[in-house]
Every structure is written in structure tokens, then in C-alpha cells.
Structure 1
Amino acid sequence: MASCKRDQEQHYHEVFITKTVTIQPPPLVASPTFLPLSNLDSQCPALMYLVFFYREPVPASSSSSSSLFSSLKRGLEEALASWYPAAGRLRLSSHSGKFTLACRNGTGALLLQASTTARISDLGDLSQPNNFVDRLVFRPPLNASLEDTPLVVGQVTKFGCGGYAIGVGTNHALFDGVANYNFLNAWAGRAAGRRLQAMPPGQAEPVHDRGRLLELHGHQHGHDDDPAEFMAIDHLHQLIKQKQDPIILRNGEEKLVLRTFSVECAMVSRLKSKAMSGGTANCSSFEVVAAHMWKARTKALNIPNHRTVCLQFTVDARGRMHPPLPPSFAGNAFVLSSLLCTAAELDRLPLAALVLRIQAAKRAVTHAYVARYIAALGEAPRTSLPPLPELTMVSDWTKTPYHRVDFGAGEAAYVAPLATPMPQAAYFMQSPGEAGSVDVRIGLPEKTLSAFETYFLHGF
């Protein structure tokens, strides 16, 4: 009897693929044969996944999940008229070692229809990672070559409760977070039948050409002794050199567990008040949460006081170049900024002082910084970083509220990112449950989770 029950539970959590189609741009779309990619595009040529959850059944205007699938299929085909690189494939030059994007190879994006008898309520808190959610996206076979892998994959899964999920994977070589958000809005708007004129400014006509960034590949700007121009990469080199120290920080090198910590609006307000009472004239939610989280993570990992610790965070370079890149630029335009100190100094610094340092690191991202950063990426070997417990990385998604991407059923109940190639990085996301609150998803060693929660949510 127990065995029968286990078999039923296993079947209950299966996901059945019922349809797979390849989506091409409309036949009359004129696109370049190849699109050269920049050093920023080449940092992480991997699929990044988001899963949109909708608790309510398919809208009344659609009689079934098949109708939803049809609208997503039509919407994606229409969106590819402007976002044609999403239907291409990556190519790696054996001569230069650089990536290009083949736009006219007829391969297309991939869209799947699926169903499960599971109910969305079975997943519990949607903000927390769940192994079942991995089944709601299409993952290419492990032996698939990069050149054969679709750059955009989508899967719509109907749940037994009538709700559904839309799992989307986009290759990071195509888009950064802003471009990905604009692409998904373009797809969703067409799937929902909204007129193009109703789309937000900057999203109607994406700019795919990377020419402005390609010009910087061999660029040497400024003086080698200007610390601002080497900040992020120089700090990484310092941490890697420090790693050769015989001290072993096992807390930061164990298998990481993903968790989401919700920073309520009231807590964000208290952090801002604390920073401003300490002498900061103004500050953003990102700045205070990042500063506070850096201290909490460093304490939770029990990093020795004499060790150098580093905070790195993404900065959108679109508006920092001269002339600026257009808001609709559809490639990768984010660079890392960085600040460094010892663990002891970090522990002593008040929140206001940390916020001021983060603001200074933001201001350091000038056109010259971006130029040197891009050139340095081209000079660095394409290898993954070793485990660096002293490195805290933050990617700010609060300006791309994915839960508001409307495929025709309004806002999603939640949008869950799946594990990324850098699970130790923290992702700041708008919480759909409360305006002004921030969900922080981060990978931590399991035995440090309780300490981090205490320091982060209660220790201020």
C-alpha cells in the first residue's frame, strides 16, 4: 500500500510535454547574416531561466491551455520580427575565439506545451526555490553543442488546479536584464493582442548592433595608475591572490543552498532612515539593502577580520557612455563596480559610511571606466572564478519588475529565477506582494543560513 502511494506521488509530480514547435521570424524580416557580439555579451553564454506563475485558470477569452499556447506562439513570432537575433544561434570563431550570432540559419526559438496533475499550492511558497520548478522549463540535452542550442526557449505548463506557469529561458549572450525585460514585454504584449503603440517607450524598436561596444575592445584609455579604471577586475585579482593564503574558509566553499529573504518595505524605510541619520543626504533602496547584506553575509560566513572582502554590483552603462547608448539597446551593457576593505573594517563601518562608498563606486563608472573594463575582459582568459567566499556579488533586478510582464492574464503571482551559473550572487527583485519591499535571492552554505537570516533580517 505504501509503495502504491509513493508511485502515485511520483506520477503526481510528473510533467508531460504535449507539443513542441519551432518559432521563426516572419518571412519578410530583413536581418543581417551575422551579428558580432561584444566582450560583455561573451561573459556568460548560457540560458538564464524565469518561471512566471499564474494561480488563476487561463483567461475566459481563451477556452483552454491550447489557446494560451497559440497566443504565445503567435506573439513570439510577431516579436521576432524586431527581436530577430533571438531566433539565431551562437557561433564561436576558432580563429579569434570570439562569439558571433548567426541570424539567418533558420533554426528559430523553441516553444513547448506541457501539463501536470500537480497543483500550484503543492509548491508552497513560490518565492522559495523548489526542485519541481526545474521541470517547468526546457533544458537542452547535456551533450548538445552551444551552436545547436536555441537562444530562447519557452514552456507553458497547465497545472491540475487550472493555474499555469510560463517558463522562459534566454541566453545571456543575447540580452542583459534590461534587454531581456524589454523582449519579454514585447512578446507578452503581442501575445495579449496589445497594440505596439501601447508598449512603453524604448521597447518598440530594439537596437541590436553592438558597434559602439565593439569599438572599445582594443581601447586603452587613461592611465594605468588610475585605480578607478581597474577597480572591479583589480579587486578580483586581489581576492584570487589572497586565496593562495593557507587559511581555508570552508563556510564559503561548501555546496550552496538557494534561499529568498524578503525585506519588507518597513525594513527598507528603517535602513534608509538609519543611513540618512548617519550623514547620508539621500540613498536608494538598493544602496542600503546591498550595504546591509554585505555586512550580514560576511558575518554569517565568519570571515576572519584580517581578510580582504569585496562587494561587486552591476551598473547599467547605457547612460554612462558618451554619447549614451539608447535605452532600447538590446545587448549586454552592464559592468561591475566594486569596493574593497578588510572584514574588520566592514564590521566597524556604520551603514551611512558604507552607503557613501557604494555611491562613490557607482559614480566611478564613467565612459573611461566602461571602455577599460570592456578591453580588459577581452584580455582575460575565459575561465570560471574559483570559490571566493570573500566576494559578495549583487545583481539589481528591482528596475525590471518581471511579475508585471502581462501575457494576457495580468500580473504573475510570482516570477522565480532558477539557479544561475553563479548561485552565490544575490539577486534583488521587486516583491509582488508589497510595493517597496525587496526579495533577495542568494546562495549560501546550508549551515550559515540561520546566521545570515539573523544578521540580515534582525541584526540592525
Structure 2
Amino acid sequence: MRVIKESSRVIKPIYEGTPPSTTHHIPLSVFDKVTYNTHIAVIYAYRPPTPPNRALELGLQKALSVYREWAGRLAKDDKGEIVILLNDEGVRFVEASVDGTLDQAMPLKPSPSLLSLHPSTKGVVELVQVQITRFTCGSMVVGFTAHHLVGDGQSASNFLVAWGQACRGVKINLRPFQNRNIFTPRNPPKFEFEHRGVEFISKKTQKDYAIDNNVIDDIVVHKVHFTLEFLAKLKAKASSMNGENKPYSTFESLVAHLWRVITKARSLSSHVTTHARISVNGRARLNPRVPNEYSGNLVLWALPRTKVKDLLREPLPYAAKLIHDAVAKVNDNYFKSFIDFANHKVVEEDLIPTADADKSTLFPNIDVDSWLRFQFYDLDFGEGCPYIFLPSYFPMEGLMFLLPSFIGDGSIDAFVTLLRDHLDSFKQICYSLD
């Protein structure tokens, strides 16, 4: 697939009435500061008919007038803290084409070839980038990148839905909640949980977490489709030792299964400790609850861990319980403990985030990002929703994305990143319920 970039420009918000000041800035919250300092890229595919590029561009400009932070820039204030300048400098808009049909480029899957379907995420000052790629069959692919420091998956999906609404000429009803100053520490602070080694590590001990970054060429992203029938069997098996207790969720059951399968495929030594880093959205967990429209990052991580010998020797319910208990622990008390710790201990102890986008491998651990509840499939520009949605190629071994299948029947697609040498073993056992 040869993608020809035809134009690239920066577009700015369009306002109705008097434009707002462009001299204000938004300080990052403690949740923004602890996340990955990188762009995240996703890919959408649409069958014809599709709207013209000018309509997409105009809708994007209107959406940016509501979601202003995405049209801004990252900078540092006089204290050296990173802030978002609300300067309306705009976002990158790229137009491209392919001399061929989309069917000829199928199947779209996370691989280096996908990188040509969105702007580069390296050395970028824009906080959002969009690339519209047209195929001779009339199909359209939209590549979208967004800087993670500005917002998490929930924030990005809200913005994308708003972009679609603006393109359709309807009122943007997903109005962002933009106050990032609501996470104030308690007085006196309460450090109820351990955050060292979870969200933060010491700069002095960072070398102990050194990772081999010379394996990128050996990394592959494998898509696994789990049918509704398989997921039901998996959930029943994971919950088989629960007795009268509530069954484990489909998510908990699937992550438990994949954690065990990946660990088997890696052929890890039995004495090694492995953990699963699982993203937990804090909007519904904080009290008072933070609305889903909150525009920013509000994610922490559950970190179930165990010895490889126990993970593989014990049946599936063992791993499911580890996950269930770890996720349940990331509750209102945990989030507030984190807020207190981040405000009082990070500078004092010279700590840095454990989230590191420059790693190439998480071996012997895994990182789980669930996009099952986000509205990515609701991006409708006026001619219908996408028929394909997937993450771009992100070569970090051990990283896993869970998405609702585009089939729309409740099945799940898992995008699992592995070393090439482990792929055959993974394929052989990924559907085994033993």
C-alpha cells in the first residue's frame, strides 16, 4: 500500500461570536502527569459514500472551538510545570490518497504499514493530528493521533464523537468538563496505599528497570477474535469456584485467560514474578463521581502479581480472582491516596512515573488497555459509523488492547503484542480452555 501525502496544514478553531482569549493556560493534573508522554494513534475505515474533506475539516474546526485544549500546545510555566496553552494554534490536517482499493489493502492490522495512514507521532507540537486517506473505491480511512498528556481514551473518544456531530450539523451534546483543579489533596494527607513501584519509581533506581530496547524488529501485533460463545464459556470457567458469589466479569475472565496464555507462550521460568498492569477509569470510582465528560486523564492501574508457577499451575479462577481483587482495590480511597501522594511525595523523593512509552518490552509483565466502553465506533460524519476501528502499530511487547468487535454482537477483539518467536505458541493455545 503506497500512500501519497497530498497536503498538510494546520487548521484552527472556528468560533461563533467573539473568540475567547488565547493567553490562558491549563495546568496538568496529577493524573495527566503520571500517564504516557506520547501520542496515541487510532485508525478508522469507512465505506462509500463518505463526506468531502472540506466538510470533515470544517467540522473539526467547530469541534475544536468546544474542545479547545486539543488545539493548544504543551509548554512550561514559570515554575517549570507542564501546562496546556489555550492559544488556538490548531491541529495538523493531512490529505492523502492510495492508487488502489481498500479491499486490496485489507486486512488492516497493526503493523508498520499502518504508520503511513496517520501523521508521524515523533517530534510533534500539535496535540491532535488527522489524516484523511482516500482510496479509488471511494472508501476513506481516518488516522487520528492525540497526545496522552492532554486526555485519556475516554476524553479522546468524547472529542471524536463531537467532531462527528459537528460534521453532521447537529448540536455538540458532549460538552467537556474541563476543570482539572478538582483533585485537591486532603489536609492532612493520608497515604493509605503504596504508590512507589506502582505509579512512580525513584530516578535513582530507574536503572534497575532498564529494558532491552533492541527488539522492535522482532515484535508483532496479533489480533485475536473471541466470539460471544467462547467468552461465555470462559466466564463460566473463571467463575466456577465462586460459589454463591457474583460471577467474574467478561473482562476479568478474558484478561485472566490471556495473562496465562501469554505467560505460557513466553516460556517464563517458574520462579519469576509476573504482573498485569490494568487501566482503571476513575470517573465512576471517585466520590463524588466525576462525569464521563471530564476532559483529561483520570486513569490509575491495578497491578495483580504472582509467581509464574502459581499462575500456570492453578486453574483459571486463581488468575481471575487476582485480577478482580486488584481492580476492586483501585477505589475512591486508592484514588485519593494517590492524589495525596502525588502532591506531597513526588517532588520530595524525586520520583518519576513508571509509565514509559519508550520501552520496547514489558517482559515478564503485561499491560492491558480496555477500550470496551469507549464510543470510538460512534464517530459518524454523516454517512454512517466506521466498519473498522483499531489501534495503530505500537511496538511494545506485552501490550494488549481490548476492543468490541466491529461485528457488533458483543464479541471482543484483542490486539496482543508479542515477540515473533512466541507467536506460534500463542496461536496454538489462545483458544484452549484447559
Is 1:333 the counterpart of 2:298? The answer is yes
Question: Which residue number corresponds to residue 64 of structure 2?
Answer: 80
The one of 43, 52, 56 aligned to 1:51: 43
Aligned 8 A contact 2:201 2:352 in 1: no
Aligned 8 A contact 2:111 2:393 in 1: no
Q: Deviations over 1:309-365 (max 9, x none)?
A: 111101111122222212211100010011111001111222223222222112211
Question: Which residue number corresponds to residue 89 of structure 1?
Answer: 73
Q: What secondary structure does 1:80 align onto?
A: helix
Aligned 8 A contact 1:253 1:389 in 2: no
The Cα shift of 1:92 comes to 3.0
Question: Which residue number corresponds to residue 6 of structure 1?
Answer: none
The Cα shift of 1:427 comes to 0.6
Is 1:448 the counterpart of 2:422? The answer is yes
1:52-451 paired onto structure 2 within 5 Å:
52-58=44-50, 62=51, 68-93=52-77, 95-96=79-80, 98-104=81-87, 106-126=88-108, 128-139=109-120, 142=122, 144=123, 149-196=125-172, 199=173, 203=174, 205-213=175-183, 215-216=184-185, 220-223=189-192, 226=193, 232-233=198-199, 255-279=218-242, 281-374=246-339, 376=341, 378-379=346-347, 380-381=351-352, 384=356, 387-420=361-394, 422=396, 424-451=398-425
Say if 1:93 and 1:137 are closer, same or farther in 2 by CA, change over 3 A: same
TM-score after normalising by structure 2: 0.87
Question: Which residue number corresponds to residue 28 of structure 1?
Answer: 18
CA RMSD of superposed structures (Å): 3.1
Unmatched runs of 5 consecutive residues or more in structure 1:
1-11, 63-67
Larger helix proportion of the pair: 1
Say if 1:155 and 1:306 are closer, same or farther in 2 by CA, change over 3 A: same
1: CA distance, partners of 2:407 / 2:255: 21
Unmatched runs of 5 consecutive residues or more in structure 2:
none
Say if 1:220 and 1:422 are closer, same or farther in 2 by CA, change over 3 A: farther
| Aligned partner letter, 1:161 | C
The Cα shift of 1:181 comes to 0.7
More displaced 10-residue stretch of structure 1: 368-377 or 182-191? 368-377
2: CA distance, partners of 1:388 / 1:353: 22
TM-score after normalising by structure 1: 0.82
Say if 1:382 and 1:233 are closer, same or farther in 2 by CA, change over 3 A: closer
Seq. identity, %: 23
More displaced 10-residue stretch of structure 1: 386-395 or 302-311? 386-395
